[in-house]
Amino acid sequence: MNNLADIIEQWILRQIAHEQDEIIILRRNEMAEELACAPSQISYVLSTRFTIERGFIVESRRGSGGFVRIARIPVQSLVYQDAASQIDSSMSLADIKAIVTRLRSHNLMTSREAALIYKCFAILYERLEPEERAPLLQSLLMTLANQNE
């Protein structure tokens, strides 16, 4: 049997899944009543399982008019966009390798993907002029970002 924290997490995730924009607004007391638990148990789940590292932003307001707003954020996509924005025509191949290594170290790509993307980057680096190369490198990274969502 699942523990209460798992039940609360799954309930919240189901609510988010039903929303097209992946944002929900809940009332902690109503949620606690529906799930037959204390509001503090919901607070615990929100603070431990709905973190930025897991791809969520939680905004909470306590009191009689209080609410909890939970939004899923595309963390992986943001990291890839940041990496792509760093690529410019003046970058060396070592700089590009550092970007790939950073993405791999954060588990945003597998070792195989890292090896393939680095090899593609090396080939493009050797065969294209810097002004042509940078947009292609950015495009490759963004293709990976869109595949990981």
Confidence band of 37 (pLDDT split at 50, 70, 90): very high
Cα 144 from Cα 127, distance rounded (Å): 22
Averaged pLDDT of the chain: 87
> 133 to each of 52, 130, 136, 140, how far by Cα in Å?
33, 5, 5, 11
Contact between residue 70 and residue 23 where contact means Cβ atoms under 8 Å apart = yes
Model confidence pLDDT, tens digit, residues 5-22: 999 999 999 999 888 888
Longest dimension (CA), the chain: 64
User: DSSP state, 128?
Assistant: S
Confidence band of 109 (pLDDT split at 50, 70, 90): confident
Q: Is the pTM value of this prediction over 0.85?
A: no
Q: Does residue 148 carry a pLDDT above 60?
A: no
Contact between residue 54 and residue 21 where contact means Cβ atoms under 8 Å apart = no
Model confidence pLDDT, tens digit, residues 62-108: 776 678 999 987 767 778 888 888 999 899 999 989 999 988 887 88
